[in-house]
């Protein structure tokens, strides 16, 4: 089995930059700064192999929340992976009573060593769920050339009110 080369790509830091920029823009949106947190963990997982290809802290977090966000970011990705082949959003298996939240999305891409296009899962944890998801959807569009209509389809599942304002603010 061939291991993904996503993490070895020279421009993986570009993706981290996109997530960071999108987080900053999200926090400036009306309603975007309602969270105490101004950061979280970003996870990239291969749908084909289930391997975590990247996990990195973004922004600032309270020390007592670091472990929680680290674990939730991965939990969302693993849960979405378990909901394949049809799952495209962790909102589809959301259960807040069991601490299962939205914030992970499946994107179609040839990246991640995936010749058949099974794609990647992008996950974020640290903000309210709509923020986590909106940041991942914008990252999918800008960093992975995902289709805006695909992102809108995912946002419709959760009723995410932040994707369109985020797109408008960044492209203004």
Domain boundaries of the chain, sorted by first residue:
6-166
CA dihedral over 77, 80, 84, 88, signed as positive or negative:
negative
99: its two tokens? 């601490």
**CATH numeric code, 6-166:** 3.30.450.150
79: tokens are 């849960």
Nearest Cα neighbor of 94 from 29, 157, 43, 17 is 157
Share of the chain above pLDDT 70, in %: 87
Report d(CA 66, CA 71) in Å as an integer: 9
pLDDT tens digits, 53-112: 999 999 999 999 999 999 999 999 999 999 988 899 999 999 999 999 999 999 987 554
- Does the pLDDT at position 113 exceed 60? no
What number is the average pLDDT over the span 21-33? 88
CA nearest to 76, candidates 27, 115, 125: 125
Is residue 127 classed as helix, strand or coil in its secondary structure? coil
Eight-state DSSP code of residue 95? B
What CA–CA distance (Å, rounded) separates 88 from 63?
31
Assessment of whether the complete model's pTM goes beyond 0.85: yes
Judged on CB neighbours under 10 Å (0-12, 13-18, 19+), 22 is buried
Spatial separation of the C-alpha atoms in residues 4 and 12, rounded to whole Å: 13
């Amino acid at each position: 089995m061939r291991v993904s080369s996503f993490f070895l790509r020279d421009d993986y830091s570009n993706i981290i930059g996109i997530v960071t920029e999108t987080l900053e823009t999200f926090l400036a949106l009306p309603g975007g700064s309602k969270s105490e947190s101004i950061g979280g963990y970003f996870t990239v997982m291969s749908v084909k192999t289930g391997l975590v290809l990247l996990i990195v802290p973004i922004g600032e977090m309270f020390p007592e929340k670091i472990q929680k966000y680290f674990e939730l970011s991965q939990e969302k990705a693993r849960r979405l992976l378990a909901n394949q082949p049809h799952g495209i959003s962790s909102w589809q298996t959301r259960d807040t009573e069991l601490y299962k939240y939205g914030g992970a999305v499946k994107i179609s891409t040839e990246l991640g060593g995936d010749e058949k296009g099974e794609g990647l899962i992008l996950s974020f944890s640290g903000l309210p769920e709509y923020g986590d998801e909106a940041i991942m959807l914008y990252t999918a569009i800008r960093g992975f050339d995902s289709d805006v209509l695909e992102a809108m389809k995912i946002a419709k599942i959760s009723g995410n009110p932040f994707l369109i304002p985020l797109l408008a603010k960044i492209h203004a």
